[in-house]
Amino acid sequence: MAVGVFDSGLGGLTVLAALEKRLPDVPFVYLGDNANTPYGVREADEIFALTCAGVERLWAEGCDLVILACNTASAAALRRMQETWVPRERRVLGVFVPLIEALTERQWGDNSPPREVAVKHVALFATPATVQSRAFQRELAFRAIGVDVEAQPCGGVVDAIEEGDMLLAEALVHSHVAALKRRMPRPEAAVLGCTHYPLLEPVFRAALGPEVAVYSQPEIVAASLEDYLNRHPEMRGEGGASRYLTTGDPIATGHRATTFMRRATSFEPA
């Protein structure tokens, strides 16, 4: 049994790299739905159907625990999946909650009532579908009160990264940050609400300025999963090397994945 990691494309590899570094003895199976990327411009029902299909494929690989390393899937599909679709003996977890717990300085699993937190003005950068879902604001409201969130849909950034056009991606980041700052001139914190965005974290930081605390997901999610596996050791995989699957072209996907993993990565057809 391995731990499954699902993403709509290649962005989840930023999370997987952090998971493999923090949990070197845990085997992972990564599935990128590269044939259908990006999810961020799709309707919620379509995202739900595609995400369920990807999770089922990882279940077939023996992954009873699956991490949705995709903010769009976590925002648009996860709650519905957990409430109506995931069987009792399996688990599907997202990447939003660990990030919000870090932002609100809560310990993992702290279910106490929402309370005042230090950060009052938060900028959220995410895909259009994630922004439209308002899932970040909903999960934040469970844990904190009095926080103003300004969300910026970052159209085109994921497409540019997936196509390897990092110059275009950087230009789009500067444009999106400028658009947000016109509405929220002085954010205290910025959330990079897409697993592609860690590749552009220095660009976000430069555009936002040194006074803005930037929250990115890979290390936060890795620490959260380590804590979860310590509390649920039956979900921890044993033995075997990590594998990488794609619904797209394995050779082309492997070439593009080197941008994310910074090492040669061989993909298998899903």
Q: What is the pLDDT of residues 169-193, one digit of tens each?
A: 999 999 999 999 999 999 999 999 9
**How does pLDDT run across 71-128, given as a tens digit for each residue?**
999 999 999 999 999 999 999 999 988 999 999 988 767 778 999 999 999 999 999 9
Residues 105 and 203 in one domain: yes
pLDDT tier for residue 238 given thresholds of 50, 70 and 90: low
Average the pLDDT over 254-266 and give the result: 82
> According to the model, what pLDDT value does residue 79 have?
93
Residues 161 and 245 in one domain: no
Range of the domain at 226: 3-94+218-269
176, 192, 216 - which closes a domain:
216
Domain count within the chain: 2
> According to the model, what pLDDT value does residue 187 have?
98
Distance between CA atoms of residues 5 and 13, nearest Å: 9
> According to the model, what pLDDT value does residue 108 have?
67
Q: 10 Å Cβ neighbour count for 198? A: 22
Q: Is this prediction's pTM over 0.85?
A: yes
Is residue 39 predicted with pLDDT exceeding 90?
A: yes
Average the pLDDT over 143-147 and give the result: 94
What average pLDDT is seen over the chain?
93
CA-derived radius of gyration, the chain = 17
- % of the chain beyond a pLDDT of 90: 84
Residues 206 and 249 in one domain: no
Could you say which of 52, 63, 70, 154 is catalytic?
A: 70
Residues 29 and 68 in one domain: yes
Q: Minimum mean pLDDT among 160-164, 198-202, 248-252: which range? A: 160-164
Residues 79 and 40 in one domain: yes
E-strand stretches of 9-142? 28-32, 65-68, 91-93, 115-116, 121-126
* 154 classed as catalytic: no
Could you say which of 52, 63, 154, 194 is catalytic?
A: 194
Residues in the chain: 270
Residues 207 and 249 in one domain: no
176, 196, 216 - which closes a domain:
216
199, 216, 233 - which closes a domain:
216
Residues 108 and 183 in one domain: yes
Is residue 58 predicted with pLDDT exceeding 80?
A: yes
> According to the model, what pLDDT value does residue 112 have?
87
Strands 213-215 and 189-192: parallel
Average the pLDDT over 52-75 and give the result: 95
Residues 44 and 142 in one domain: no
Residues 180 and 230 in one domain: no
Residues 130 and 104 in one domain: yes
Is residue 153 predicted with pLDDT exceeding 80?
A: yes
> According to the model, what pLDDT value does residue 75 have?
92
Can you give the CATH number for the domain in which 157 is found? Answer: 3.40.50.1860
> According to the model, what pLDDT value does residue 203 have?
98
Is residue 33 predicted with pLDDT exceeding 80?
A: yes
Average the pLDDT over 43-69 and give the result: 96
What amino acid is encoded at 244 in this protein?
Y
> According to the model, what pLDDT value does residue 241 have?
77
Average the pLDDT over 55-75 and give the result: 95
SS3 23: coil
Distance between CA atoms of residues 237 and 30, nearest Å: 14
Residues 81 and 136 in one domain: no
* 70 classed as catalytic: yes
Residues 222 and 90 in one domain: yes
